[in-house]
Amino acid sequence: MDQTLPAVVTADPAPEIAELARRYKRANGPVMRLVNGLGGRLERQLDLVPARFRGQVERATAQALEAAYGIAARAPELGERGPMVAVVASGAAGGAGGIATALAELPVTVTLLLNAIRAEARAAGLDPDDPAVREECLRVFGAGTPLASDDGVNTSFLTARLSVTGQAVQGLIAAVAPRLAAALGPKLVAQAVPVLGAVSGAALNLAFLNYYREIARIRFALLRLAAQHGAEPVLQAFAAAVEPPRIVRA
């Protein structure tokens, strides 16, 4: 991967890995736990929605990812607080008119989230316009965690590199879209009630922004450390810091 990394190489990555593990454990903090609890109830409601609508959400998510992938590189930088203001406004607008406006708002929210993820890649010393890094930005949507105990989208993210072709990007979007649709589907259900949905949409958008931005920050920092110290020892150290071995007492 052609990428720009910071010139300074940390002699001992252990302290930074430990801090990344702490940040990862905090990423699913009180707000996201509330969202997850709400999401469980909304998912049950989503099960009652016709399959045609659920398929529409997945197709709309895939289309939003494709559009965001092309637009994000041209989107202006919004700074630290700009994305928060933008996703709150977008979520509120999406919930103002029920499910129709919620679906119309989806590409805007996905683009704002992807732009925030790109900013984290830049902060880690990577070039977000490098095609391989752009693909890594998409991968963040499909990976709630970089731990190797997760399934195939996440297990080898430190070492896996796609060939940078249009077909590879389409395949990645096809793999990521169902995961993102599953995450955003309950949000759309919450936004389906006009006016009240505006409040839900704004709050949920902010929670998703904070979560994906933090996960991106962790993943790109680990990528930088893997380039400096090797993927396997970095991933093993991170996994051990997140889930330290249990002490079995006789």
Q: What is the pLDDT along the chain (250 residues), one digit of tens a residue?
A: 445 444 445 578 999 999 998 888 887 665 556 555 554 555 555 565 566 777 788 888 899 898 888 886 676 676 777 777 888 888 777 767 777 788 888 888 898 899 999 999 999 888 888 888 888 888 888 765 544 444 333 434 555 555 556 778 888 888 888 888 877 777 777 777 666 667 777 888 888 888 888 889 988 998 888 888 888 888 888 888 887 655 444 4
Q: How far apart are CA 242 and CA 28, in angstroms?
A: 13
Q: What is the pTM of this model?
A: 0.76
The sign of the dihedral angle between the CA atoms of 113, 65, 122, 215 is positive
Q: Compute CA 70 distance to the chain's CA centroid, rounded to the nearest angstrom.
A: 17
Residue 130's SS3 state is: coil
Strand, helix or coil at 101? helix
- Specify the pLDDT at position 46: 57
Q: How far apart are CA 7 and CA 46, in angstroms?
A: 49
- What's the confidence (pLDDT) of residue 38? 53
Rounded alpha-carbon distances, angstroms, from residue 240 to 1, 18, 38, 193, 208 = 27, 9, 30, 44, 26
- AA identity, residue 192: A
- Residue whose C-alpha is closest to residue 221's, from 1, 2, 5: 5
Residue 144: closest CA among 173, 176, 170: 176
| Alpha carbon distance 31, 37 (integer Å) | 10
Predicted pLDDT at 153: 31
State how far the Cα of 220 lies from the Cα of 133, in Å rounded to an integer: 9
Place of tokens 């830049």: 122
Tokens of 41: 């109830």
Whole-angstrom distance, CA of residue 42 vs CA of residue 40: 5
The pLDDT score that the predictor gives to residue 144 is 54
Q: Say which residues have a Cβ less than 8 Å from residue 139's Cβ, sequence separation at least 6.
A: 153, 157, 172, 176, 219
Please choose, from the candidates 141, 177, 178, the residue with its C-alpha nearest in 3D space to the C-alpha of residue 157. Answer: 141
pLDDT of residue 18: 92
CA dihedral sign, ordered 154, 155, 160, 162: negative
Q: What DSSP assignment string belongs to 52-95?
A: HHHHHHHHHHHHHHHHHHHHGGGSPP-TTTHHHHHHHHHHHHHH
Please enumerate in sequence order all residues whose Cβ is within 8 A of that of 188, keeping only pairs 6 or more positions apart, or say none. Answer: 57, 99, 102, 103, 106
- Report pLDDT for 209: 87
CB 13 within 8 A of CB 225: yes
